[in-house]
Structure 1
Amino acid sequence: MNLLNTKDIRDEILEKLNKYDFKNKVLLLSKKPSQEAIFYKNVIIKRCKEFGISYVDKEFDKESKDEILSFINSYDKEDGFIILAPFGHDEDLTYLKEGIKIKDLDGFTFKSLGKSMEGNKDFLPATPRAVVNFLESLGTNYRGKSITIANRTSLIGKPLAMYLTSMGANVSIINSSCQNPKTFIKNSDIFISAIGKAAFYDKTYFKEGSFIIDVGTSYINGKIVGDIDVDSISEMEINYLGSKSGIGAITTITLLEGMIDNANSK
């Protein structure tokens, strides 16, 4: 197994963030957040403090969707926002996706999703953007590539699939109801997993020469474990990017990098 990492990308982004003089705020928006959302928020806050980025930690309770939208849009258009899932009902989210006017840091609005579908990676949510940045750092040519994604959420699977398809890749999204997941995965040039089930995919899912990007994160006995059973594939000729030293190491800083890129506010 060839163990890959994102160290070069991480160092490049960190250098940019450390050099930049941030003038605008990051809005961290939550509504009855889960423990996972609170943990993620605290990681972002830690990074904001590290890079001198002002932030607003706002937790909504019984406010109407109009009140929430008014609060968000009261900030400068160059201030950035992050919606921490879960956040209200689908109809509330649709209202916000249509109406938020400030800078979208995590591919939340319909405008961002539309732009990413047209092939603009700057409008992708942070995790898909980190995946794309990694692939492009390797000089990956998407055209004609067969890519399978195990995730169908609006934060990872769907926007990533739309972007890769727009770049000429042949993309399949699989889920728990897929009848023949091994066939999809074994026939893929690239397999991207983000299901959050520890060591779920063992060596029987892969062939020699497989390329795996493991975005999944589970905590087992205090340790981060990805979706791939790494021990079972250790003797195979496989290129493997894990979560801890891979996409997970650059997701948060990729998110904050959006504060530098003015494209997300135009």
Structure 2
Amino acid sequence: MQLLDGKATALNIKAEIAEEVKKMKAKGIREPHLVAVLVGHDGGSESYVAYKIKDCKEVGFKSTLIRYEDDVTEEELLKCVDDLNNDSEVDGFIVQLPLPKHISEEKITLAIDPRKDVDGFHPQNVGLMTMGMPAFVSATPQGIVELIRRYGIETSGKHVVVLGRSNIVGRPVSVLLSQKSEPGNATVTVCHSRTQNLPDICRQADILIAALGSPGFVTADMVKEGAVVIDVGTTRVPSDKTRSGFKLMGDVRFEEVAPKCSYITPVPGGVGPMTRASLLINTLKAAKQRTN
């Protein structure tokens, strides 16, 4: 069993990006600029955005945080999006989800200029990605594929089983791995809450991607010997062994599943750092489009 070390891989990606930024600046081109829009004080969103700002600093990006309280109106937020769309000093931006219930996430997503949509959620980017054309790919699926690529895991002709059909992870990663590309060329099965005989299907997987948000869902009897297991889950569960009173738990019962695997991602330290690195990849791509 070998760990798929997302933390170490993300550090390598960040070092590569930092080198590219140095070359840009040496040519007199300004550094990439990422803006994060944060509404309210959700704990998970706060920490995730803080990490993004830290990542930007480490690779030489400029970053800006725009904050709004929970009672911001949809109109105000749409005005902010429009301003960022038209700001030539901004290469890419994200509106951190989830948003308060009185704001339509769909409306906000549709308002973002696809050329600055470094989260890869706009339908135009999703459509281009589905067609195998250049696009901003959402960060977690892109991070998963990059991790597979950098560890040299064979996907061609393999059976990939994806647990979860969300627009953020399950669906896009299933498309990416079924495309005529490398990594890719896999036969992909997408499972969800209505799937019958789920354990049987999981046991057929050469590569099992768990993206359910259901802690400890995948058990050893659902995984075949030698499978690659990629755990996307990061659920906070109570713990009396940590100072914070909680720990992060994946969708996979790591201790019992790991001995059966050829490769497996840990939680934390697996897919999470790759998601963050992918946002930097997209922002650099957006900045390069500006200079071309």
Q: 2:276 corresponds to which residue?
A: 252
Q: Deviation string for 1:242-266 (max 9, x for gaps)?
A: 2323222322122112222248858
User: Do the aligned partners of residues 135 and 119 (structure 1) sit closer, same or farther apart at CA in structure 2, a change above 3 Å counting?
Assistant: farther
| 1:70-219 matched pairs, under 5 angstroms | 70-76=82-88, 79-87=91-99, 92-101=104-113, 102-120=115-133, 123-167=136-180, 168-219=185-236
Asked if the contact 2:85/2:116 (under 8 Å) is kept, the reply is no
Using the alignment, how far apart are the partners of 2:200 and 2:80 within structure 1? Answer: 45
User: Which amino acid is 1:128 matched to?
Assistant: P
Using the alignment, how far apart are the partners of 1:139 and 1:214 within structure 2? Answer: 18
Asked if the contact 1:152/1:174 (under 8 Å) is kept, the reply is yes
User: Which amino acid is 1:30 matched to?
Assistant: L
Deviates most, 208-217 or 96-105: 96-105
Q: 1:12 corresponds to which residue?
A: 12
Q: Deviation string for 1:151-173 (max 9, x for gaps)?
A: 22221112112222223322222
Aligned with 2:140: secondary structure?
Answer: helix
Where structure 2 has 5 or more consecutive residues not aligned to the other structure, the ranges are 23-29
CA-based RMSD: 2.8
Where structure 1 has 5 or more consecutive residues not aligned to the other structure, the ranges are none
Q: Deviation string for 1:27-80 (max 9, x for gaps)?
A: 212334532212211111222233343222223411416524422313227511
User: Do the aligned partners of residues 251 and 230 (structure 1) sit closer, same or farther apart at CA in structure 2, a change above 3 Å counting?
Assistant: same
Using the alignment, how far apart are the partners of 2:175 and 2:89 within structure 1? Answer: 27
User: Do the aligned partners of residues 198 and 264 (structure 1) sit closer, same or farther apart at CA in structure 2, a change above 3 Å counting?
Assistant: farther
Structure 1 length-normalised TM = 0.85
User: Do the aligned partners of residues 129 and 120 (structure 1) sit closer, same or farther apart at CA in structure 2, a change above 3 Å counting?
Assistant: farther
Q: 1:43 corresponds to which residue?
A: 51
User: Do the aligned partners of residues 7 and 26 (structure 1) sit closer, same or farther apart at CA in structure 2, a change above 3 Å counting?
Assistant: closer
Using the alignment, how far apart are the partners of 1:165 and 1:240 within structure 2? Answer: 21
Using the alignment, how far apart are the partners of 1:33 and 1:177 within structure 2? Answer: 34
Using the alignment, how far apart are the partners of 2:261 and 2:13 within structure 1? Answer: 30
Using the alignment, how far apart are the partners of 2:34 and 2:261 within structure 1? Answer: 43
Structure 2 length-normalised TM = 0.79
Q: Deviation string for 1:100-157 (max 9, x for gaps)?
A: 2242211121221122112357621111111011112234454432211122222111
Q: Percent identity?
A: 25
Q: 1:228 corresponds to which residue?
A: 252
User: Which amino acid is 2:210 matched to?
Assistant: S
User: Do the aligned partners of residues 8 and 50 (structure 1) sit closer, same or farther apart at CA in structure 2, a change above 3 Å counting?
Assistant: closer
Shift of 1:203: 0.6
User: Which amino acid is 1:241 matched to?
Assistant: T
